[in-house]
């Protein structure tokens, strides 16, 4: 435990030291090219709709808020007087806590709504719900089963809609993943990320984003569980892990797939990430998992090791959703120099 704590604190120290060095020399790395990037008023249903510079800008704002609020203890009521409707068809720990606490920390008012609290898709159409919420709040985050629900909300709403998770994409998870890797490695460009597991919504979001940040993506899934579009695709986990900087997996049985559990556990046999998987990766390899985790997906030797970034990754869900909400609702400009991407 002490070794892992040292590793995390050392990463934060290197991050702060780099920012201090940049400030002392009077320049911001990459800031000139991103200074004019603005996504205010946009929705975020998938990162496929965002350019490389726009994604970098979101990560920059997120890192800025983390430094100023967490480490420098500044109070930044950037969303004072604003409110967010949080629609949750699916239960959640990280998405709810990061959004609710993050919006409140920025001075705004979050309102949590489950399918038992509102009429969405039952007694009231998505069209009417979107129009009603547009007059009652400033932004909506929706965690839904079907991506088409988000598309309907976005089509009819006059305020930004954020995808808190759908069957196709999980963009806010990927922002947290890439902020975590940026903090750990100091740069994203040239990294190789290997996905070993199900071809699900998180993988789809990796596929929409990795190349825009100069990250190589390799994928290993069992036959029959491939993502919608393939990149470097194999059914051999060791082949995918070979030469990789980052090993990533996710749950093999998502919410709504409980009846498939027995079959899925059988089909995913051999896909557990272990130290043996990491033995063919690069010497500096690390591990990510969006949580919650099951033992069959990754063993304790990896999950609780210094190579595991899962808990900084979980915390960064808060800073990246805050960065996204601030970017969609304000003209905020980061006050810190931007790190190398």
Q: Which residues are part of the catalytic machinery?
A: 290
CB 32 within 8 A of CB 341: no
| Residue 209: both structure tokens together | 């984003």
Q: State the SS3 of the chain.
A: CHHHHHHHHHHHHHHHHHHHHHHHCCCCCCHHHHCCCCCCCCCECCHHHCCHHHHHHHHHHHHHHHHHHHHCCCCCCCCCCCEEEEEECCCCCHHHHHHHHHHHHCCCEEEEEECCCCCECCCECHHHHHHHHHHHCCEEEEECCCHHHHHHHHHHCCCCEEEEECCCCCHHHHHHHHHHHHHHHCCCCCCEEEEECCCCHHHHHHHHHHHHHCCEEEEECCCCCCCCCCCEEECCHHHHHCCCCEEEECCCCCCCCHHHHHHHHHHCCCCCECHHHHCCCCCCCEEEECCCCCCCCECHHHHCCCCECHHHHHHHHHHHHHHHHHHHHCCCCCCCCCCCC
d(CA 163, CA 175) in angstroms, rounded, equals: 12
Q: Which residues pair with 38 in a beta bridge?
A: none
């Amino acid at each position: 435990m002490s070794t892992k704590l040292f590793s995390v604190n050392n990463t934060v120290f290197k991050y702060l030291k780099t920012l201090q060095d940049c400030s002392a020399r009077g320049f911001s790395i990459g800031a000139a090219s991103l200074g004019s990037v603005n996504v205010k008023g946009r929705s975020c249903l998938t990162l496929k709709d965002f350019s490389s510079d726009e994604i970098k800008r979101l990560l920059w704002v997120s890192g800025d808020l983390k430094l100023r609020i967490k480490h420098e203890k500044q109070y930044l009521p950037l969303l004072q007087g604003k409110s967010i409707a949080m629609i949750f068809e699916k239960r959640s720990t990280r998405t709810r806590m990061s959004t609710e606490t993050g919006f409140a920390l920025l001075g705004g008012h979050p309102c949590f709504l489950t399918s038992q609290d509102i009429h969405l898709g039952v007694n009231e159409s998505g069209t009417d719900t979107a129009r009603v919420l547009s007059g009652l709040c400033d932004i909506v985050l929706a965690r839904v089963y079907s991506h088409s629900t988000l598309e309907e909300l976005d089509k009819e709403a006059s305020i930004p809609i954020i995808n808190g998770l759908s069957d196709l994409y999980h963009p806010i998870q990927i922002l947290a993943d890439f902020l975590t890797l940026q903090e750990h490695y100091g740069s994203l460009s040239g990294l190789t990320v290997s996905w070993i597991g199900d071809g699900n919504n998180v993988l789809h979001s990796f596929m929409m984003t990795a190349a825009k940040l100069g990250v190589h993506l390799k994928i290993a899934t069992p036959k029959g569980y491939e993502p919608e579009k393939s990149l470097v695709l194999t059914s051999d986990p060791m082949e995918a892990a070979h030469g990789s900087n980052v090993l990533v997996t996710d749950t093999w049985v998502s919410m709504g797939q409980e009846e498939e559990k027995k079959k899925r556990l059988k089909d995913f046999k051999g896909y557990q990430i272990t130290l043996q998987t990491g033995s063919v990766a690069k010497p500096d390899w690390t591990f990510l998992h969006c949580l919650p985790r099951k033992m069959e997906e990754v063993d304790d030797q990896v999950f609780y090791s210094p190579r595991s970034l899962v808990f900084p990754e979980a915390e960064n869900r808060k800073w990246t959703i805050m960065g996204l909400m601030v970017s969609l609702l304000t003209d905020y400009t980061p006050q810190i120099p931007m790190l190398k991407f």
